[in-house]
Amino acid sequence: MGVKNDIIKMAKAAKKASFALSQLSSQDKNFAIRKMAENIERDTNFIIKANAKDIKEAKGDKRKSSFIDRLELNSKRIKSMVASLYEIIKLDDVVGEIREIKRRPNGLLIGKMRVPIGVVGIIYESRPNVTSDCVGLCIKSANSVILKGGSEALNSNSAIFKSLKDAISDTPVPKESIALITSKERKAITELLRLNDYVDLIIPRGGEGLIKEVAEESRIPVIKHYKGVCHVYIDSDADLNMAHKITINAKVQRPGVCNAMETLLVHKDVAARFLPVIADDLKNKGVEIRGCNKTKKIVKWVKKATREDWFTEYLDLILSVKVVDSLDEAISHINTYGTHHSDAIVTDNYNNAMKFLNGVDSACVYLNASTRFTDGYEFGMGAEIGISTDKLHARGPMGLEELTTYKYVILGKGQVRS
Amino acid sequence: MGVKNDIIKMAKAAKKASFALSQLSSQDKNFAIRKMAENIERDTNFIIKANAKDIKEAKGDKRKSSFIDRLELNSKRIKSMVASLYEIIKLDDVVGEIREIKRRPNGLLIGKMRVPIGVVGIIYESRPNVTSDCVGLCIKSANSVILKGGSEALNSNSAIFKSLKDAISDTPVPKESIALITSKERKAITELLRLNDYVDLIIPRGGEGLIKEVAEESRIPVIKHYKGVCHVYIDSDADLNMAHKITINAKVQRPGVCNAMETLLVHKDVAARFLPVIADDLKNKGVEIRGCNKTKKIVKWVKKATREDWFTEYLDLILSVKVVDSLDEAISHINTYGTHHSDAIVTDNYNNAMKFLNGVDSACVYLNASTRFTDGYEFGMGAEIGISTDKLHARGPMGLEELTTYKYVILGKGQVRS
Q: Which of B102, B367, B413 sits opposite A411 (nearest CB)?
A: B367
* Single-letter residue type at A26: S
Contacts of A269 (CB under 8 A, 6+ apart): A236
pLDDT of residue A382: 84
A410/B222 CB distance under 8 A? no
CA distance B297 to B275: 11
Closest Cβ–Cβ partner in B118, B406, B416 for A249:
B416
Which contiguous run of DSSP H or E holds residue B63?
A: none
pLDDT by residue (tens digit) across A162-199?
Answer: 999 999 999 999 999 999 999 988 899 999 999 999 99
What is the tens place of the pLDDT at every residue in B280-313? 999 999 999 999 999 999 999 999 999 999 999 9
Q: What is the pLDDT of residues A283-312, one digit of tens each?
A: 999 999 999 999 999 999 999 999 999 999
Under a CB-based contact definition with an 8 Å cutoff, are residues B17 and B153 in contact?
Answer: no
Alpha helix locations (H) across B43-186? 44-60, 65-71, 75-90, 129-140, 154-168
Residue from B395, B407, B411, B418 whose CB has the most chain A CBs within 10 Å, to mutate: B407
Overall average pLDDT of the A93-114 stretch: 97
Question: What mean pLDDT do residues A257-267 have?
Answer: 96
Which CATH number applies to A2-226+390-411?
A: 3.40.605.10
What ipTM was predicted for this assembly? Answer: 0.94
Helix A327-337 to helix A350-359 angle (10° resolution) is: 20
Q: Residue B147: phi, psi to the nearest 5?
A: -105, 140
Superfamily, domain B230-373: Aldehyde Dehydrogenase; Chain A, domain 2 (3.40.309.10)
Provide the β-strand partners of residue B318. Answer: B288
Query: What is each CA distance from A210 to A98, A190, A192, B414, in whole angstroms?
Result: 37, 12, 14, 36
What residue of A is the nearest CA neighbor of B214? A219
CA distance A262 to B151: 48
Query: Do residues B214 and B189 touch, judged by C-beta distance below 8 A?
Result: yes
pLDDT band for A223, please (50, 70, 90 cuts).
very high
> pLDDT value at position B191?
96
Q: Which three-class secondary structure state does DSSP give residue A320? A: strand
Dihedral sign of CA atoms A111, A115, A118, A124 in order = positive
Do A251 and A307 form a contact (C-beta atoms < 8 A)?
Answer: no
> Chain B interface, mutation test: which of A281, A392, A405, A411, most B Cβ atoms within 10 Å?
A392
pLDDT in tens, B127-178: 899 999 999 999 999 999 999 999 999 999 999 999 999 999 999 999 999 9
Of B222, B367, B370, the CB nearest to A417: B370
Confidence of residue A66 (pLDDT cuts 50, 70, 90): confident
**Range(s) within chain A of domains with CATH label 3.40.309.10:** 230-373
In whole angstroms, what is the distance from residue A112 CA to residue A105 CA? Answer: 18
Q: How far apart are CA A63 and CA A60, in angstroms?
A: 8
pLDDT computed for residue B126 by the predictor:
76
C-alpha distance across the termini of chain A, in Å: 54
Q: Is A201 on the interface with B (CB under 8 A)?
A: yes
B238 three-state secondary structure: coil
Beta-carbon count within 10 A of A348 CB: 12
Longest distance between any two alpha carbons in chain A, whole Å: 79
Cβ A188 vs Cβ A123: under 8 Å: no
To test the contact with chain A by mutation, choose from B408, B411, B413 the residue with the greatest count of A C-beta atoms within 10 A, namely B408
**CB burial class (10 A; 0-12, 13-18, 19+) of residue A151?**
middle
What pTM does this model have? 0.94
| Burial zone of B170 (CB within 10 Å; 0-12 exposed, 13-18 middle, 19+ buried) | exposed
Compare all CA atoms of chain B with the CA of A403 and give the residue at the minimum distance: B392
Share of chain B above pLDDT 90, in %: 91
- How far is B354 from A404, CA to CA, in rounded Å? 19
Q: Which of A236, A262, A258 is nearest to A353 (CA)?
A: A236
Would you state the pLDDT for residue A208? 84
- What phi and psi, each to the nearest 5 degrees, are found at residue B267? -65, 140
Q: Which of A122, A48, A104, A86 lies closest to A410 in space, CA to CA?
A: A104
- How many Å apart are CA B22 and CA B117, to the nearest integer? 9
Residues of chain A with CATH 3.40.605.10: 2-226+390-411
- pLDDT of amino acid A1: 54
What is the rounded CA–CA span in Å between residue A146 and residue A136?
13
Mapping DSSP to helix (H, G, I), strand (E, B) and coil, where does residue A78 land?
helix
pLDDT (0 to 100) of residue B359: 95
Query: CB distance from A111 to chain B under 8 Å?
Result: no
Burial class (CB in 10 A: 0-12, 13-18, 19+), B60: exposed
Region B190-205 average pLDDT: 95
In the stretch 326-355 of chain A, residues with CB closer than 8 A to chain B read 335
Question: What per-residue confidence (pLDDT) applies to A280?
Answer: 98
| Chain B residues closer than 8 Å to A357 by CB | 113, 409
**Interval B243-265 mean pLDDT:** 96
pLDDT of residue B243: 98
Complete edge-to-edge strand list for the sheet that includes strand A303-304:
A303-304, A288-291, A318-324, A261-267, A230-234, A342-346, A364-369, B404-415, B109-116, B98-103
Nearest to B368 among A358, A405, A413 (CB): A413
Per residue in B270-283, pLDDT (tens digit) is 999 999 999 999 99
Tell me what the mean pLDDT of segment B62-77 comes to. 92
Is the CB of B392 less than 8 angstroms away from the CB of A392?
yes
- Asked if pLDDT for residue B1 goes beyond 60, the answer is no
How would residue B316 be classed by pLDDT, with cut points 50, 70 and 90?
A: very high
User: For residues B112 and A367, what is the distance between their CA atoms, to the nearest angstrom?
Assistant: 14
Give the strand pairing for B98-103 and A201-205. unpaired
**pLDDT for A414:** 98
Give me the residue from B216, B370, B412 closest to A416, CB to CB. Answer: B370
The predicted structure's pLDDT at residue A128: 94
Neighbours of A293 (CB within 10 A): 10
Question: Where residue B207 falls among pLDDT bands split at 50, 70, 90?
Answer: confident
Q: At what angle do helices A26-42 and A75-90 cross, to 10 degrees?
A: 170
Q: Measured between alpha carbons, how far is A410 from B5 in angstroms, rounded to an integer?
A: 47
Hey, are the CB atoms on B409 and A215 less than 8 Å from each other? Answer: no
CB B194 within 8 A of CB B5: no
Residue A65's pLDDT is 87
Please name which of B408, B401, B387, B385 lies closest in space to residue B131, comparing C-alpha atoms: B385
- The three-class DSSP label of residue B362 is coil
Checking if the pLDDT of A330 tops 60, the result is: yes
Element (H, E) at A366: strand A364-369
